[in-house]
Chain A
Amino acid sequence: MIPDFEYAFYLWTSYGIFAAVIAWQFVQPRLRKRRIEAEVREERALQTGSYE
């Protein structure tokens, strides 16, 4: 149940910003790790000629 607050726009926007920034702090390092790992595998495949 969503509580009915006075100044709801300001309150929920604040909590929304907080949630979005924290979520980005969680997601961004995971996306970067996947990208780095993919690049390392790509480099290795180019050197060895094996894409398995």
Chain B
Amino acid sequence: MIWKTIKVNFHRLGSPPTFYRLAQVLAPWLWAGFAVCAAIGLYQALYVVPPDYQQSDSFRILYIHVPAAWQAMAGYVVMAILAVIALVWRIRTVEIMAMAGAPIGAAFTFICLATGSLWGRPMWGTWWAWDARLTSMLVLLFIYLGIMGLYAAFEDRRKGARVACILILVGIVNIPIIHFSVEWWTTLHQGATIRLFSGESTMHESMMPPLIWMTIAVKLMFGAALLDRSRNDLLDQDRRKGWVQARLGESA
């Protein structure tokens, strides 16, 4: 019974007007959640947490660098799940969501690389090093850009989305490479500081709260931006359909 209800609601989300309405309601709440979590996180990161005994204040960059890095990878995993659903069930709204994730993921990867570089200059003495973690993260940025380019290259948006979904699934191999790069190779980049499932985190607990708040914030932001972009793509693709005409007629 519950399974059937879930299944019916899942398929109902495939209806563009239903998805559009849901996204319209959800997105502002996610943006509001992001604003609250980010405000708390940034306040703690800049005013509450003491300077690190070795890195001084430069370690505060990690409060945006680490959540951005995690989200760049988590966003890709979300896109891969959406790509599988899109390829198996051929649900157009899911295809659109998978494609809408790419520019947001690229944005987080860019934040990660740029802030990492800005942290690396005073701490490592260089803006960039071709080590495994940095290079695999750069490859992730190129994969995101490749997905966006491939999707845009097709005049038939659905065909473009299906080809790009296959590229997403091929590119997923880079995610474990990024994660384990610091263990598989000798890298300038430090090893895992925060361990969720195995072992103890080497970060002092007094420095953890801003990281947790910022991590939640960027996850909410990813969701909000994903819904915003998906809504726009739906609107663009269905611009001559009745539900869009009726919706714009109402808002005119």
The chain A residues found within 8 Å of chain B, CB to CB, are: 3, 5-8, 10-11, 13-15, 17-18, 21-22, 24-26, 29-30, 32-33, 36-37, 39-41, 43-44
Contact = CB atoms under 8 A, between A and B. Distances in A.
Contacts of B15: none
B107 interface: yes
B64 interface: yes
Interface of B: 31, 42, 46-47, 51, 56-58, 60-61, 64-65, 68, 104, 107, 110-111, 114-115, 118-119, 121-122, 221, 225, 228-229, 231-232, 235-236, 239-240, 244-245, 248, 251-252
Contacts, number: 82
User: Which of B118, B119, B225 has the most A CB atoms < 10 Å from its CB?
Assistant: B118
B111 A17 contact: yes
Given A3-B46, A18-B68, A36 B239 contact: yes
Given A33-B232, A40-B245, A7 B56 contact: yes
Contact of A7 (B42, B57, B248, B251): B57
Nearest to A5: B57
B241 to A, nearest CB: 10
A10 B221 contact: no
15 contacts: A3-B46, A6-B51, A14-B114, A15-B42, A18-B111, A18-B115, A21-B107, A26-B31, A29-B225, A29-B228, A32-B232, A33-B235, A36-B232, A36-B236, A40-B245
